[in-house]
Chains A and B, each alone.
Chain A
Amino acid sequence: MRLTVDDLSCGYGEHRVVDELSLTVDSGEVMCLLGPNGVGKTTLFKTILGFLAPQGGRVLIDGRDARTLGRREQARLIAYVPQAHTPPFPFSVRDVVTMGRTARLGLFSSPGPADKALALESLERLGIDSLAERPYTEISGGERQMVLIARALTQQAQLLIMDEPTSSLDFGNQVRVLRQVRRLAGEGLCIVMTTHEPDHALWCDARVTLLEPHGPAQVGSAAEIITEAAMNRAYGVAVRIGSIAGPGGPPVEACVPLLTHSSVPDRSASNQLSARASQQRS
């Protein structure tokens, strides 16, 4: 499975938000979309998912234009994991996860035993099968996010598009969700997610698309793109990026903001690193 975003421009009506973006994501990869609020992460998402028509360029799934796929066919290839939400009715977790089968069911059919077994299997795969009979509206935000991931797994799509899967989760649940993201990519899924935390991209060993308010988007590995200079440019804050050694296993990179510094770009640091960043871009 390969997702190709080819020269894609998107936006609402006359307003263009993302201009001529190109990127590819392959099976087994995590692609993180980073960028400040309002830079077009959601717009890009909606265009990839076909909720918005592109203003230019194409979205290709294994070489096929996504717009030529019907809703059903698209849903068999791409699963959307929205932010944990509260639906108006207290469906059981099992029912919510079973709805992942929608694209595999005939017009008049409802899920059979095989579909329900698959739903339970997805819950087991994420280790949350004991939630099956609980109302989705009454579990915690972290649990709801996991349930939505389970629903995407039940959809048996190769590409998972996750909209800020860690937002509004506590620290522990953020880490648990990220661990699953990494694991699912390791199992061969293709994952595209937005996040507000540069750290999440570093921890998931992800590839990164950094959308900047001024200037072209940058695509590359987390280590290449998440630099002190780039974070400063994109978010307007000073950061330091360092390595923390774990007990056994490779060191972990972390991006730490410098709160005592003013939001004015830290010249010395950005000068040092912009040379490195521009080299990488070229």
Chain B
Amino acid sequence: MNRTAVHSHQPEASARARGAPMAPRAVLLALLIAFLVIFVASFSLGRFAISPPVVVDTFTKLITGQPLVPSPTHTVLVQVRLPRILAATLIGAALATAGTVFQGLFRNPMVSPDILGATSGAGFGAAVGLLMSLNLLDVSLLAFVMGVAAVLMSYSISVVVGHGDDTILMLVLTGMAVYNLFLALISLVKFVADPDNKLPAITFWLMGGLSTITMRSLGVLLIPLLVGWIPILLLRWKLNVLSFGEEEAQALGISTGRLRWIFIICATLLTASSVAVSGIIAWVGLVIPHVARRFVGPNFTQLIPASMLCGSAFLLLADDVARTATAQEIPLGILTSLIGGPFFILLLVHGRTVNR
């Protein structure tokens, strides 16, 4: 039998393979532990410091149903910090998942969950809601609906305009148009809003933050998140194949149109529901997939869980800073941008030296 070794003239190849990184599963486990540490530590951090043993003790009692003596510690932990920490965990994971999915679908690591207009659509919905002085839950609901509507708009325009030519490029282009349309509409709402009370409310909402989260809004958030997450987690291996492009994925046996549609809908549910509750939290969906890829590589089977853990950990840390760094809380969206931008550049610089 004629066995040809194309690479035989590259002896350094095998040396590289031997220095292979840790198995992805071990890395995932390490990420899980890191996340849990940050999760628990976040409860002790705050204006009112609570030591980790007290945190663990309080929650052990709460979970096992032992009677708790009402105390300020208990109130702070359960009423104030718990919803917020759960929100940071869920929203960080959701935005990171959506970013990872969109990057795979659009075969481009520079893509973020904004790509099809989900964030600007949701921002517009919230701005309108605040303009009409709706209550907070209705504002979120309107934001969610408009976020999903914006993506449906991008998608259907691309189908009508594209005639099935280059579906992915057409989606990116229509997404860009819809995204900017809603940005303009947000500006319009701000322009007509009362500058004394409505305008600051809208501006503040758009900056993003978790201070208004309650257990009730968390419960509402959880439904669209689960509806989005479950199909993504079940189908995530197929994202690998989709990231090779339309024709190759089809030739490998995938009905790309239907599968892409499912991923877009699910990632949009994650994005729109997150933005609806927290406002616009930038950079998580763009940067975290890169971080996760550094840890476990590009295979979506490990990448999606890794992105979720990294996204949660990152947003928990950012929110810890937001609520402890200064006397007045820093809007979370500003903070994630301040950290995310330079961090992304650092990743790019580091990537150059490692990969080449």
Residues of chain A touching chain B, judged by Cβ–Cβ distance below 8 Å, are 46, 49-51, 70-72, 74-76, 78-80, 82, 87-92, 95, 99-100, 102-103, 105, 107-111, 126-128, 130-134, 138-140, 142-143, 146, 155, 173, 176, 179-180, 183
Contacts and interface: CB of A to CB of B under 8 A. Distances in A.
A49 B109 CA distance: 29
A179 B2 CA distance: 8
Given A102-B238, A130-B14, A131-B13, A80 B251 contact: yes
Contacts of A107: 235
Contacts of A100: 252
B108 A146 contact: no
B93 interface: no
A143 B236 CA distance: 27
B253 A131 contact: no
Contacts of A126: 3-4
B241 A102 contact: yes
Contacts of A183: 2
Contacts of B235: 107-108
B344 interface: no
Interface string B1-21: 011111100100110110010
Interface in B94-115: 103-104, 107-109
Interface in B236-283: 236-238, 240-241, 243-245, 247-255
B6 A133 contact: no
Interface string B270-311: 000000000000000000000001000111010000000000
A46 to B, nearest CB: 8
B243 A87 contact: yes
A95 B240 contact: yes
B355 interface: yes
Nearest to B21: A133
B69 interface: no
B63 interface: no
B6 A111 contact: no
Contact of A128 (B7, B245, B297, B301): B7
Given A71-B250, A71-B253, A130-B14, A89 B243 contact: yes
A87 B49 CA distance: 49
B234 interface: yes
Contacts of B293: 89
Contact of A140 (B6, B20, B247, B297): B6
Q: Please give me the 10 A-B residue pairs with the lowest Cβ-Cβ distance, nearest first.
A: A103-B253, A75-B253, A110-B237, A80-B251, A89-B298, A127-B3, A102-B252, A133-B17, A108-B234, A72-B253
A90 B241 contact: no
A95 B5 contact: no
Contacts of B14: 130
Nearest to B10: A140
Contact of B20 (A89, A128, A133, A155): A133
Contacts of B301: 110
A180 B5 CA distance: 11
A160 to B, nearest CB: 11
Contacts of B2: 179, 183
